[in-house]
Amino acid sequence: MSAGPDIAAAAPLDAAPTSADRHCFHCGNAVPRGADFGIVIGGVRRAMCCPGCRAVAGMISESGMAAFYEHRTGYSERPTEAPAADEQLRVYDDPAVAATFTDTDEQGLRHARLLLGGVSCAACTWLIEHTLQRIDGVASANVNLQHSRLDIALDPDRVALSSIFARLEALGYRAQPFVAQARRELLDRDYRRNLRRLAVAGLGMMQVGMFAIALHAGDLQGIAAEHQSLMRWVSLVIASFVVLFSARTFFENAWRHLRAGALVMDLPVALAIGLAWLASGWATFSGGGQVYFDSVVMFTFFLLLGRFLEQRVRRRFQLNWYDVESDLPTAVRYRRGDGWVSGPRIGLQSGDVVLVPAGTTLPVDGTVLRGRSSVREDTFNGEQQPRMVGPGDGVFAGTLNLEGGLEVSASGPFSATRLAALQQSVGRASGEKPRLWRLADRVSGWFVLGVLLTTALTALAWSQIAPEKALWISLSVLVISCPCALALATPTALTSAASALRRRGVLVHGENALEALGRADHVVFDKTGSLTRGQLALARIAPLADERPESLAAAGAALQRASRHPVARVFDEVAAAGGFDELTYHIGAGVSGRQQGRQWRMGSAAFCRELAPTLPPAPPQSLYWVALVREAQPLAWFGFTDPVREDAAPLLAELQAGGLGSSILSGDTPARVAELGAQLGIPEALGGLSPEQKLEQLEALQARGKVVAAVGDGLNDGPLLARADASFAVAEATDLARAQADFVIEHGDLGAMGLAWRTARLCRRIVWQNMAWALAYNICAIPLAALGYVPPWAAAIGMSASSLLVVLNSLRLTRSSAT
Amino acid sequence: MASLYLLIPIALVFCAVAIRLLLWAIDNGQYDDLDKEAWRALMDEEPGDTKGDNREPDEPHR
């Protein structure tokens, strides 16, 4: 395995970047086609070739040593610049190509998933959705901002897929069929583009700044006209380059949204940069007036820096879209004629009879023909307790066959399974996630309006008083009103908060999750695995005979060695009593064995009463009870439960003290959920819910105007996590849950949710402070500028100082322990 | 001050070269992982890193 001594320096790893994904991240062996045991390390999903590698890598990652991989991935994942972007769009109309990323429903509508490059804010999604929905033949278009993904349903007879691609490109977005690998390359390309812009703006800022100091000094001390002119010309050249190269993104964004009728933060930014540059250029040509090249360039640099930092945090913790289908076995054994053959799961037809050995995942939805076993359906109900199945019972793909081999008659292809429906509802739920508009976006519309109005008034007033000064003074209003601080207020605060949380073991990858969490007024918890440990533990031994509990447990442990039931794992750490033989496992009943000629049984009441008819009923406590008998003598009832996390109660107390409501939504039996709710003081504790019903409950809460945070871990929580305003996945969560959650708690410490909540509140306060400062600065500075008291050097200093203050204020978040 | 007419163009040329080099380095992927480069100097002391450590991978810590 690759844990060799000098892996960290393994430069050859980058030799084959495109094939890296087909190789195991841990050991470098090829990953079998379609088999993916991928796990999340350092916030990124990694392909693993086998469960062994997965376990080792997971251990390394969870013990806080993911830096080892972090170091290595830089080498193995260096992307190639894909030429795919220039491919002709026509290729997407080819049915075979289209089939790889689209599917057709009963009404003949074609559903496609596209990956979008260049989607930078919530308003972009609005723009794309509305533009596409206006095209004749498009039934629906939904952009998932977090994944930069477009889900579109269209009528293939009326509109061609290639025209959708063309339209997206016309809008300024790059579209590709959605596949996980393409997404990463796109992210890397965006990242490099931003870095190039930032680099040019930074170098340009230094140069222009150098000349600006000379010019400002000249303003104060006097300067020869020819020298002033020279420096202005040089500044003009450099600033023009920066504006055209680096600041172009602001113009493009502002224009795109303006055409769609949206006022975004980029608009005042583009206006300030564009007008200051134009006027300064004109001053250079005409030899009069004032130049603001330093402000133009510095402005560009600061804003690009803020945006870059924010994007870097997001890119680093980006999770790939998680495909549940990859959890199903690739190859299955099914009946052909009289024998069993192995073949790919993909090729299964409805009616094929599939053999499912004990301990494996069911590959299909279907009906049991032969065999008896129990299946663990935590995929759908979150529960570890298995369900007994026999001939005639329905079983579902993605559930685990625990006890015995089953022959299952497949009922359809993967896309018709309950698992596929679950994944779809996750996708849909995340698409419908409520959009909490950023404070900055709401403020910016008014801000733009106010600044433009003030500028116009200033120009009007001065054209009456002193026409020759009107242009320069109204321009200085625009420059000094620099929305820089306003634009930096949110990203810097969010970035600081995210990195502070990261250090304390909480990964943040939801776009607006911190803002939403700060406003949350209700929390919904999943039960199993979130509020509880998600593993059975021995809660109580109720002896029925005069024997010591220790020896009873030892006997139980010896018998359970033969069991495949989840209960058996509880006894793994109990020393087994000796002398047991003839251990037999009875599917759906229990275990029997013999010690010194005496028959023992452990299992369900009915199973044990066959041997000991006098076995009394289980104690009334609501635990999972298993009986132990020796010959005709009842020995004990073992009560198992899924223990509550110790940090659940303090967390709930804290949230309740903070004024948040809470409820439990669980797939477990209502009685057990109600008991847990009573124990933790949660009034609303609902059990027996399917993933879809959980989602309905959540939507009902949101419809009442609640901002809802959700905590979950299982596949069945996927839709819930996707739809909640802010969602948490606890450490042992399934990949789907982690991919959907806005926050991933790394160390399984539920208390970290409280930390995240406190940080989010603090972050929200900091954003408010930043905004308040930026606006207060403007309210003081604009009148001064309007009166003509602000020379260019003062404008430059004022702008930098206000931006700096915002950044420093945000940095307080990284130091704060949020207590 | 006539030297300005020579020195400023020279400064511009240097600036252009610097930008060109920086863009080349970015395109070349040298800035793709800023975190990693920051970490690399510290990697030797990381617990999960076995670099510069001659112990066999599966031999227990002592």
Pairing of strands A406-410, A353-356: antiparallel
The pLDDT value recorded for residue A179 is 57
pLDDT confidence bin for A32, thresholds 50/70/90: low
Same domain, A285 and A212: yes
Q: CB neighbours (10 Å) of residue A256?
A: 20
Of A214, A654, A433, A188, which is closest to residue B27 (Cα–Cα)?
A188
Q: For A234, which of B8, B35, B46 is closest by C-beta distance?
A: B8
Are the beta carbons of A792 and A292 closer than 8 angstroms?
Answer: yes
Residue that is written with structure tokens 């564009």 in the block: A274
The count of CB pairs under 8 A between chains A and B is 94
The pLDDT value recorded for residue B41 is 57
Last residue of a domain, one of A178, A213, A240: A178
Instruction: Establish if A501 belongs to a structural domain.
Output: no
Same domain, A353 and A270: no
Same domain, A635 and A690: no
Q: Give yes or no for B7 touching A (CB within 8 A).
A: no
Q: Give yes or no for B57 touching A (CB within 8 A).
A: yes
A335: three-class secondary structure by DSSP: strand
For A709, phi then psi, to 5°, come to: -100, 145
B10, B14, B31, B59: best to mutate for the A interface, most A CBs within 10 A: B31
B6, B10, B20, B23: best to mutate for the A interface, most A CBs within 10 A: B23
Taking only the tens place, the pLDDT of each residue in A84-94 is 333 446 667 76
Instruction: Establish if A757 belongs to a structural domain.
Output: no
User: Which residue(s) pair with A76 in the sheet?
Assistant: none
Last residue of a domain, one of A76, A95, A129: A76
The pLDDT value recorded for residue A324 is 62
A538/A378 Cα distance (integer angstroms): 20
Q: Give yes or no for B53 touching A (CB within 8 A).
A: yes
User: Contact B4/A192, CB-based, under 8 Å?
Assistant: no
DSSP A626: E
What CATH number is associated with residue A138?
Answer: 3.30.70.100
The mean-pLDDT minimum among A387-401, A469-483, A605-619, A634-648 falls in A469-483
Q: For B54, which of A5, A192, A238 is closest by C-beta distance?
A: A5
Instruction: Establish if A393 belongs to a structural domain.
Output: yes
Taking only the tens place, the pLDDT of each residue in B13-59 is 999 999 999 999 988 877 766 654 555 555 444 433 333 333 334 43
Same domain, A311 and A328: no
Q: CB neighbours (10 Å) of residue A819?
A: 7
Same domain, A218 and A331: no
B5, B13, B21, B33: best to mutate for the A interface, most A CBs within 10 A: B33
A617/A625 Cα distance (integer angstroms): 10
Distance set, CA A41 to CA A66, A69, A741, A773 (Å): 6, 8, 15, 39
Alpha helices, H only, A394-527? 418-431, 439-465, 467-480, 484-503, 513-519
Taking only the tens place, the pLDDT of each residue in A345-355 is 666 778 888 88
DSSP A62: I
Same domain, A542 and A522: no
A523/A707 Cα distance (integer angstroms): 9
Mean of all residue pLDDT scores within chain A: 77
For A546, phi then psi, to 5°, come to: -85, 70
Q: For A71, which of B31, B36, B55 is closest by C-beta distance?
A: B36
Calculate what percentage of chain A has a pLDDT beyond 90: 6
Same domain, A685 and A716: yes
The pLDDT value recorded for residue A671 is 82
Instruction: Establish if A751 belongs to a structural domain.
Output: no
Q: Where are the beta strands (DSSP E) in A544-623?
A: 580-586, 590-595, 598-603
A412/A351 Cα distance (integer angstroms): 8
Same domain, A340 and A274: no
A201/A242 Cα distance (integer angstroms): 6
Q: Which domain holds residue A511?
A: 506-534+644-746
The pLDDT value recorded for residue A20 is 42
Q: Which of A174-188, A330-344, A534-548 has the highest mean pLDDT?
A: A534-548
Instruction: Establish if A98 belongs to a structural domain.
Output: yes
Q: Give yes or no for B60 touching A (CB within 8 A).
A: no
pLDDT confidence bin for A17, thresholds 50/70/90: very low
Question: How far does B58 lie from chain A, in Å, by closest CA?
Answer: 9
Q: Give yes or no for A471 touching B (CB within 8 A).
A: no
Instruction: Establish if A39 belongs to a structural domain.
Output: yes
The mean-pLDDT minimum among A19-33, A98-112, A128-142 falls in A19-33
Same domain, A374 and A520: no
User: Contact B12/A234, CB-based, under 8 Å?
Assistant: yes
Are the beta carbons of A405 and A390 closer than 8 angstroms?
Answer: no
Q: For residue A231, what are its two tokens?
A: 């420096």
The mean-pLDDT minimum among A291-295, A441-445, A694-698 falls in A441-445
Question: How far does B54 lie from chain A, in Å, by closest CA?
Answer: 7
Q: Which of A199-208, A366-375, A475-484, A624-633 has the highest mean pLDDT?
A: A199-208
Calculate what percentage of chain A has a pLDDT beyond 70: 78
Q: Give yes or no for A244 touching B (CB within 8 A).
A: no
Q: Give yes or no for A214 touching B (CB within 8 A).
A: no
pLDDT confidence bin for A73, thresholds 50/70/90: very low
A723/A741 Cα distance (integer angstroms): 9
Which residues have a Cβ under 8 Å from the Cβ of A531 and sit 6 or more positions away? A525, A644, A645, A648, A664, A676, A680, A711, A750
The mean-pLDDT minimum among A194-198, A561-565, A670-674, B46-50 falls in B46-50
- Residue A48 clears pLDDT 60, i.e. is over it: yes
- Residue A550 clears pLDDT 70, i.e. is over it: yes
At CA A286, angle to CA A280 and CA A288, rounded to 5? 70
Sheet strands side by side (includes A580-586): A537-543, A633-641, A624-630, A598-603, A590-595, A580-586
Instruction: Establish if A205 belongs to a structural domain.
Output: yes
Question: How far does A142 lie from chain B, in Å, by closest CA?
Answer: 31
User: Contact B46/A68, CB-based, under 8 Å?
Assistant: yes
Same domain, A123 and A106: yes
A187: closest chain B residue by CA:
B32
Q: What type of residue is A681?
A: G
At CA A501, angle to CA A496 and CA A507, rounded to 5? 110
Taking only the tens place, the pLDDT of each residue in A387-406 is 888 888 888 888 888 888 88
- Residue A489 clears pLDDT 90, i.e. is over it: no
Instruction: Establish if A500 belongs to a structural domain.
Output: no
Domain tally, chain A = 6
What CATH number is associated with residue A370?
Answer: 2.70.150.10
Q: Which of A44-53, A430-439, A581-590, A802-811 has the highest mean pLDDT?
A: A802-811
Q: Give yes or no for B41 touching A (CB within 8 A).
A: no
Q: Give yes or no for A237 touching B (CB within 8 A).
A: yes
**What count of residues does chain A have?**
819
Last residue of a domain, one of A430, A449, A467: A430
pLDDT, mean of residues A612-616: 86
pLDDT, mean of residues A22-38: 58
A251/A271 Cα distance (integer angstroms): 8
Q: Which helix (H) or strand (E) holds A625?
A: strand A624-630
Same domain, A360 and A415: yes
Same domain, A198 and A65: no
- Residue A468 clears pLDDT 60, i.e. is over it: yes
Q: Give yes or no for B47 touching A (CB within 8 A).
A: yes
Which positions in chain A touch B53 (Cβ < 8 Å)? 5
Q: Give yes or no for B6 touching A (CB within 8 A).
A: no
The pLDDT value recorded for residue B44 is 47
Q: What ipTM was reported for this prediction?
A: 0.73
